[in-house]
Amino acid sequence: MARITVERDVGVETRDGTELATDVYRPDDDGTHPALLLRSPYGKSHVGETMFRPVEAAEHGYAVVVQDIRGRLNSEGDWEPFVNEREDGYDAVEWTAEQDWCDGNVGVVGTSYLGVTAMSAVVADPPHLECALVGFTAGDLHDGWVYSGGAFELGFNLMFGTNLSWDALGKADLSSEDIGAAKRALMAAASDPEAAAETLPLTDIPLFDSGVAPYWQEWLDHPSYDDYWEGIDLAASADSVDVPVLHVTGWYDVFARGEFDLYDAIASEATDEARANQHLVVGPWDHEAPMSITMSKVGDREFGPRAVSGPAILNSEAFEWLDAWLVEGEAPDIPGVRYFDVGAESWETADAWPPDPDSTAWYLDSGGAANSRHGDGRLVETPGEGPPDSYEYDPADPVPSRGGRTLMASIQDGGITDQSGVEERDDVLVYTSPRLTEPLTVAGPVTSTLYVASSAPDTDFTAKLVDVDPDGYCANVAEGIKRARYRESETEPTFMEPGETVEVPVELGHVAHTFEPGHRVRLEVSSSNFPKYDRNCNVETTPAVADAEEMQVATQQVFHDADHPSRLSLPVVE
């Protein structure tokens, strides 16, 4: 085994004089080596728990630079999530390239928030950056990390803020009394996250009213896509991407949509070289797969050895990619896209994503009683003729989250979970196709277009794609939400006139799933998915600051006729 040397807490000075604590792992010799940069908010000593192990990379011949980002752990400065990562990433790449142990070739690597720091360096375009490997992350940090479809990603952000607040206490500019109160709030949130999620208004959650995580309030103050979000939108800066990028994600990752948004933005806006050398790997994984917590299991479904994730597997793919660009200096001979078909349980390849699907519409129809799985809702091939369906959405009794693309440790598990219990509720409309006589393979973005009316000026509409097994197991494939005030624009909210029929698009994200013969395609429609998303109180007040006294029950209608063709659009491939 090759000998390596490790330097701890090297001070790397940024352009404004802030010193960032950095560890360097490198071969124990006098030579120069290509370098890899990882920048983390979770502690530089813990990056080996993700899909990439610095020690193994150093043994492989790389110099590996691992840095605590600004304001976190041993680094100086104040931490504002996402805000300083471009400039600091640029400076870290160039510092690395200047060291006497580096040959001038630098790559950036990272998953989750480390993926944000890696992509931030990419869009900053430092001259010595040669390639990037990013995974399980997002580019548009408004719609894909903090919000989705205008709804606040409550479950994930509550967990994210709780976990990162513990070690922020030591740097918080608070009195000892306030520090004590913050610790009590943290303990309360950790011991009873369900109670924290149910707090109204969200601004009163004790943890985030403690001063430890001021960014929580900042996020809630900016529900619309505005200058704050535009300034940190990595996907919007894809025209500055000039290096090859390998994306890795999972179908049940909380940031799955964000990774595809990055891929799409680079494919359409980046330089010719970046577009030609972009690659994508998608497995049947959730957000914890690259940390070896759920390597081949996602919710109830175990996919076995052919779908194993984690450092032991992903490291080998990472080295193949990195060696090509940083050592050999030429494109690797790998497919443009390698993805796992969840329904067929098989790996497939394509030149690009999506693999040339045809959009096929399934139209909603019923006799006006699609409520619950016992109702008469159906999916048909031509626009329906039945009367509208209706239900009462009560934010005091929201539809509970069950599995899906989420990360809500201690609150709800993500992944594939039987939805039949949720479908017992009368506030869930259920539309089901006939049993399939041949396989139906979908690969690409799934959308639902709903023609709706509400008694409220603002409300939410949710959609969930489900694969119904012959034995009755209802496996969630994808889900989405749209806050009605953002149905026309993410920047300018438009309220509804009570009783007015409007079109509401709901994006369910990308999928690769084969519905096998004997199975049925199902679409669930409702108005909540809690606590994955925050509750809409059905009033004009911004949901984050609405309190329980403002809650009102909304009467919702879903129309499905020739003039209002509510539908599910599936990207079908042969």
Write phi, then psi, for 570 (nearest 5 degrees).
-115, 135
Known catalytic residue: 191?
no
Question: Which candidate in 23, 68, 91, 253 is catalytic?
Answer: 253
- The Cα 109–Cα 127 span in angstroms is 17
As separate numbers, helices (DSSP H) first and strands (DSSP E) second, the chain gives 11, 25
> Which amino acid, 510?
H
Q: Give the burial string for 342-376 (b: 16+ CB within 10 Å, else e).
A: bbeeebbebeebbbebeeebbbbbbeebbbbbebb
Q: Which of 247, 287, 510, 519 is catalytic?
A: 287
Question: Strand (E) positions, 41-138?
Answer: 63-68, 102-111, 129-135
Distances, alpha carbon 247 to alpha carbons 23, 71, 384, 399, 496, in Å: 25, 27, 40, 33, 39
State whether residue 48 is helix, strand or coil: helix
Distance of CA 316 to the CA centre of its chain: 24
Residue 272 burial (C-beta neighbours within 10 Å; 0-12, 13-18, 19+): exposed
Helix axes 176-191, 154-165, angle to 10 degrees: 130
Catalytic annotation present for 253: yes
The answer for residues whose C-beta is within 8 angstroms of residue 36's C-beta and 6 or more apart is: 52, 54, 57, 62, 63, 64, 65, 106, 107, 108, 109, 322, 326
* Residue 253: closest CA among 298, 293, 311, 308: 298
Cα angle vertex 529, ends 500, 212, to 5°? 115
Cβ atoms 262, 279 nearer than 8 A: no
The answer to whether residue 287 is catalytic is yes
**Catalytic residue chosen out of the listed positions 75, 112, 366, 527:** 112
Helices 214-221, 154-165: inter-axial angle, 10-degree rounding: 160
CA dist., res. 492 & res. 539, Å (int): 17
CB 461 within 8 A of CB 491: no
C-alpha span between 302 and 315 (Å, rounded): 22
Active site residues: 112, 253, 287
